[in-house]
Amino acid sequence: MTVQSLLQPQSGLEHHPDWWRGAVIYQIYPRSYQDSNGDGIGDLRGIIERLPYIASLGVDVIWISPFFTSPMKDFGYDVSDYCDVDPMFGTLSDFDALVKTAHRLGLKVLIDLVLSHSSDQHPWFIESRSSRDNPRANWYVWADAKPDGTPPNNWLSIFGGSAWAWDATRCQYYLHNFLTSQPDLNFHEPQVQEELLDVARFWLERGVNGFRLDTINFYVHDFDLRDNPPLPPERRNASIAPAVNPYNHQEHLYDKNRPENLEFLRRFRAVLDTYDAAAVGEVGDAQRGLEIMGEYTSGGDKVQMCYAFEFLAPDAPSAARIAAVLRHVDHVAADGWACWAFSNHDVMRHITRWDLSPAAARAYATLLMCLRGSVCLYQGEELGLQEAELRFEDLQDPYGIQFWPEFKGRDGCRTPMVWTSDNQNGGFSQGNPWLPVAREHLHLAVDAQERAPDALLHHYRRAIALRHAHPALKRGAISALSVSGEVLSFFRTEAGEELFCAFNLSHDPATLYLPEGRWQAIGQELNSTGPGEDGLVHLGPWQPCLVIRR
């Protein structure tokens, strides 16, 4: 792809009113993408330097994880100023240059808004905790102790222990669903909602195309602070918190997932619509994630997209599991829109998590691009990066430090991106990286894969291009889900275009009959096959069959 071609929008979504529908979103974890000044921490200027590479993938949108001013107790997900850039990442001018460059390359920009909680260093919280009668006294969730001095209820923190911390100044507890340094904002306070909507307007005025909304189902808490009921062992699911965390022992009816959340999302959507912007929400719930996704994306008056954790789970999804998830989505979210991801900055990389062979990695990448919904890719996924092994003394993530060694935290998926294979830092930084570059990643660096025609990087480019070439894959309906052994198949249809997609998700060969009709093979560059002389489709291990009706 020439530099000149990169200066033009690369996808047909640019002028579509629902540009977000079917988009391929590329997540950037800025600390680990590219360091431009040698301090060992990635920054906005580094992202600008690498935007042509991202555009060359054919993706439509970049999602940038938090870069706001922060004490970095949770690496930017603890915000102390929602309307400025932390100096370690650059300046507002750098951000403006990033947006301008991305748009010139045909890339839309989503930024990560963390609205459920702030840092305890945010001026709002500093004022709120100073007394019980200051102007922001009700901006956070405060509650008196029980008569015996214990917390107001049994709510637990995702990071371990009680979700309540005692404040000696107010002589009250405050709620923190995450770290004690991340107090929860009080969405029952109208001024809080107004302030956060103004934060969204601030960034939309700077040209962003929307937001990834962190922990979207945590915004509103139960006003009466009722206890969560216990969750039976057979219903526990470690997809949100590690199995060693007692957070999994509760059914989270009252600390999150509240119906009052919907009204705030309607107000947020009204702001988005003013700017032709979109949002994708992170639904963190192990039991009702898909149902909540359906609620939050239905009706055209809330957020456009949400992703749940079904494919971020520990076990590789079998054909039957994928079909079950998609059928459930059709049942509970037929009017909504999913955003699928296999990896992100919070879970073990799926190459390691699912123990994928190179052939399996290619098959799942192709499958992802054929699913109904939008798609999130995590930096380095296109290279096939595996989870990095780190020593305890190298850990930065408080989550991993808390639960080591049973749970090693999130640092293994956050190590720096590898650009070149000829130096120990992988071209990420000329300084000492904030997390060590994994030695096993160096041979997978971008420069090495660019030179290898059969590299996974090129497979991702081809799979993304296939998605863009067929409206049925981007925005079409999905139907006739079928499972035979480990072969998953379905139809995708849109505006007269009909595709049949089948995937052998196993190490064993398989056969299937094509549906009646005249079909033409597509996707041969993705190892797709068509019918043989006997009329059967003979699928090799991890091989797809992609055909279009003629």
- Residues recognised as catalytic: 214, 282
Count of other CB atoms within 10 angstroms of residue 447: 13
Task: Indicate the DSSP class of residue 219.
Answer: S
Contacts of 198 (CB under 8 A, 6+ apart): none
Q: What is the DSSP string of 139-158?
A: SB-EEPPPTTS--SS--B-T
Q: Is 8 exposed, middle or buried (0-12, 13-18, 19+ CB in 10 A)?
A: exposed
CA distance 45 to 62: 15
Residues in the chain: 550
CA distance 402 to 291: 31
CB 493 within 8 A of CB 474: no
| Chain centre distance of CA 321 | 20
Contacts of 327 (CB under 8 A, 6+ apart): 481
In DSSP terms, which residues pair with 502 in a beta bridge? 489, 545
In DSSP terms, which residues pair with 316 in a beta bridge? none
Q: What angle do CA 95, 301, 261 make, to 5 degrees?
A: 80
Evaluate the CA torsion angle 403, 80, 76, 395 in order and state its sign: negative
224 backbone dihedrals φ, ψ, rounded to 5°: -90, 0
Whose CA is closest to 238, among 283, 284, 179, 286? 286
> What token pair was written down for 383?
């290279």
Count of other CB atoms within 10 angstroms of residue 7: 12
